[in-house]
Amino acid sequence: MNLAPLPGIKIGDRMSPDISDREIDFFQRMGIECASIWTTLEDAGRDTMLRARERLERHGIRLWNYGLLDLHCDPTLVLGLPGFERKIERYVRYLEDLGAAGIGYTTYAHMANIKMAPFYQTSVGRARGAMPTREFDLDIALAEPNSHGRTYGEDEVWETFARLMAQAVPAAERAGVRIGLHPDDPPVPVLGGVARALRSCEGMERALEIAGSPNVGLCFCVGTWAEGGDQLGLDIAGMIERFGRRGRIFKVHFRNVDRPMPVFRETMVDDGYVDMHAVMTSLRDVGFDGVLIPDHVPGDGADKTNAAYTIGYMRAVRDRVLAEASGKAGR
């Protein structure tokens, strides 16, 4: 079955590729409208994607994204390592599979070392209660050795991005798939000796200009922009206005941190320095009709207690700002 389009701001969450009855029950009890699944190349293909979508739709859940970890934040694609052209061919086939399976969106991040050096430290008891949370200290991160044996300049990173987009964009347009570009997280100029190109408003604009297609937009990570503070060219509200007004924000990672760089800690969604009600208001004001996803939820375990808290918070704030716009908000 094909579910009817769902207008407005939607609530999403991640789901495992081996979809369980328990996960479906969780989504239904929480009122989560959209699912995002991430898996690996050997466990994905258009038939697998189609079966997942059809199963979820039977339960009223839309499969928003089916991502491949091998092609996301992939050093081969970012640094032009041996196998680069084969990876591009596989990415094109992945986009074709998404379209054939009726899945219209994927997230992509052009970061080379997110899965390697321990740039983040884990601390226990620093978030609300005694839950573990991730911390970043720029001085510690900059002391790490080169993650790929040498330094890679920004021109090199832009070159590989342009080569990828040259083949991915036509495939995405043919398949009817939108690609949401995730900004570099954390948004620093260099990490592990590798330049980070998509780290600012200017960088995101350049990326969209290179792509040159309405099928390429943003997976706007509120947490990443909160980490950058006033260093990224536009603040969170400004980014939402600039890109959201043009319909180029497809998905939002709705998360928070305690302060901007050089040192920050990830927090629960309502426990950081960013006013998330204001963020939701900005999304409403530009007519955002994509999906909100909880991301980097501190201390979340198998029971998804903290994710459930985040989802409930997102739904409550969303409903509040919509009611405020209609004049129906309670006093």
Is the pLDDT at 114 greater than 80? The verdict is no
Q: Where are the alpha helices (DSSP H) in the chain?
A: 21-30, 46-58, 75-79, 84-100, 138-142, 154-175, 201-211, 222-228, 236-239, 276-285, 305-326
User: What pLDDT band is residue 41 in, cutting at 50, 70 and 90?
Assistant: confident
Share of the chain above pLDDT 70, in %: 95
Inter-residue contact 225 to 249 (CB < 8 Å): no
Q: In 3D, which of 67, 265, 16 has the Cα closest to residue 182?
A: 67
Is the pLDDT at 327 greater than 90? The verdict is no
Domains and CATH numbers, the chain: 10-324 (3.20.20.150)
Is the pLDDT at 140 greater than 70? The verdict is yes
122 vs 67: which has the higher pLDDT: 67
The pLDDT assigned to 7 comes to 86
Is the pLDDT at 61 greater than 70? The verdict is yes
Is the pLDDT at 4 greater than 90? The verdict is no
Give me the residue label for tokens 């100029």.
189
Please give the average per-residue pLDDT across 56-60, as a whole number. Answer: 96
User: What pLDDT band is residue 124 in, cutting at 50, 70 and 90?
Assistant: low
Inter-residue contact 67 to 37 (CB < 8 Å): yes
pTM: 0.94
The pLDDT assigned to 302 comes to 64
Q: What is the C-alpha to C-alpha distance for residues 50 and 46, in angstroms, rounded to an integer?
A: 6
- Peptide bond preceding 118: is omega within 30 degrees of 0, i.e. cis? no
Average per-residue pLDDT for the chain? 93
User: What pLDDT band is residue 330 in, cutting at 50, 70 and 90?
Assistant: low
Inter-residue contact 42 to 71 (CB < 8 Å): no
Is the pLDDT at 125 greater than 70? The verdict is no
pLDDT, tens digit (0-9, with 9 covering 90-100), for 236-270: 999 999 999 999 999 999 999 999 999 999 999 99
Is the pLDDT at 130 greater than 80? The verdict is no
Is the pLDDT at 126 greater than 70? The verdict is no
pLDDT, tens digit (0-9, with 9 covering 90-100), for 83-95: 999 999 999 999 9
